[in-house]
Structure 1
């Protein structure tokens, strides 16, 4: 019997060639999300999404945080997306996700990830549902619930399975 972890065996592992583009921020939670994705076998790249000119300093800080984690990071100047209506972006797609998905497509990455605290579960019929995160504390599931199925199928939320105190402990363990 092989002790190799394969996708679908319940351990949420992925093939090492799978790539994910994560929304970068200069936060410990984001750094933990990167490390979780790496432990799951992903090749991780970051994207600092700038939806307004005033976010230039935040984008630069996110890029520096990615550098400290040893991953590449691009800055997505998505100011034009911030002003578009739902018809132009797609029903339920926010400018943030439109920018991430467009960049992921151009980079040949199947998945996008964010440090949002929620979980995406897939039913046996293939329908994806946004669920509350483990533990108590911040819950971003309501903010993500309107995302269309096509986005949810590509979205990974690495922090959703952990309570906030677990994320804080991982941050200390990872020294981030």
Structure 2
């Protein structure tokens, strides 16, 4: 991790109150940066209060400045409202991917500009590199594959990547815990945060509060044969096997949703495989655009493994990924993130899935 090459030694570090951003502060200081801890408050609740207090305590321990910023309006507009709208349309959104590009990084960059910091940093487990042949900035996978979060940063633009420093890209979570303990940081044993930070408990109750109604409808197979009834499409996720409520000699899987008819489409295991996806519009990192088919790997969910595919350009900045082998189905609203080796090519939201 090198100090910014324009001579600036100041960095605005996004601090969530967790152990990852705390250790990031220490590593940045060790690398010669002047660190300002920035806690962007995206919600106005007790959890946000505790996170800000933890971040302030870490900064006090390390002797660095700490500020807070109210970013709740931006978060509501760019993350929470699209999350609810997506579910209302029958999608299964992945809010963290869009949040990093449209909310967290913009908020942190605004804070950096006000503070006079050229660089920004976060506690993500990934690496930033600049390609020698093109000069483009890319996200690369973390050295610790188990903690790799490059998928979550696939929508970041070139101007964002050019200012981003990721101190944890070459460390493991275990090493981070040890460093936090050795430094006497008050968050050394703090548990991991939940995936959807703005939903406390059952997301279905959250959606009802946001006006997403649970319209009952039919459970059908691919041919439209009615197999049963459901109480609301938001209660189901594509790929789900348990809790569907229809008995059969084999387990049913959720294959898709037809929100216009309030139908839940189910099928057996051999039907719950896909041969490709249509995704986009794409955000490219390693390349400027896709002009012809090329081989790559793709992750269809954050927790899934990368699998070989061929990416084919489609109109309006979209791509079609043809999978080398059938894969378990994924849901429109998730993100397809393409890579070559450990380098992210780009990512886009999945709009359609193609059956085998």
Structure with the bigger percentage of strand: 2
Question: Is the structural similarity TM-score above 0.5?
Answer: yes
Of 156-165 and 109-118, deviating more is: 156-165
Q: Name the SS for the 2:139 alignment partner.
A: strand
Structure with the bigger percentage of helix: 1
Q: Distance in 1 between matches of 2:54 and 2:122?
A: 16
- Distance change (3 Å), C-alpha of 1:35 and 1:149: same
- For normalisation by structure 1, the TM-score amounts to 0.82
Residue number in structure 2 paired with 1:106 = 114
Residue number in structure 2 paired with 1:76 = 69
Of 160-169 and 35-44, deviating more is: 160-169
Residue number in structure 2 paired with 1:41 = 32
* Candidates 174, 179, 182, aligned match of 1:170: 179
Q: Distance in 2 between matches of 1:13 and 1:161?
A: 16
Q: Name the SS for the 1:53 alignment partner.
A: coil
Gaps of 5+ in 1: 1-10, 87-91
How many aligned positions are there?
Answer: 163
* Candidates 137, 141, 154, aligned match of 1:132: 141
* Candidates 126, 150, 161, aligned match of 1:152: 161
Q: Name the SS for the 2:170 alignment partner.
A: coil
| Shift of residue 165, structure 1, vs aligned partner | 2.7
Residue number in structure 2 paired with 1:96 = 104
Q: Name the SS for the 2:169 alignment partner.
A: coil
Q: Distance in 1 between matches of 2:3 and 2:52?
A: 30
Q: Distance in 1 between matches of 2:62 and 2:19?
A: 11
Deviations 1:127-176 (A, max 9, x none): 11111111232221111111100000000000011122332332333333
* Candidates 15, 22, 26, aligned match of 2:13: 22
- For normalisation by structure 2, the TM-score amounts to 0.42
Q: Distance in 1 between matches of 2:50 and 2:181?
A: 26
* Candidates 124, 130, 135, aligned match of 1:116: 124
**Which is higher, the Rg of structure 1 or of structure 2?**
2
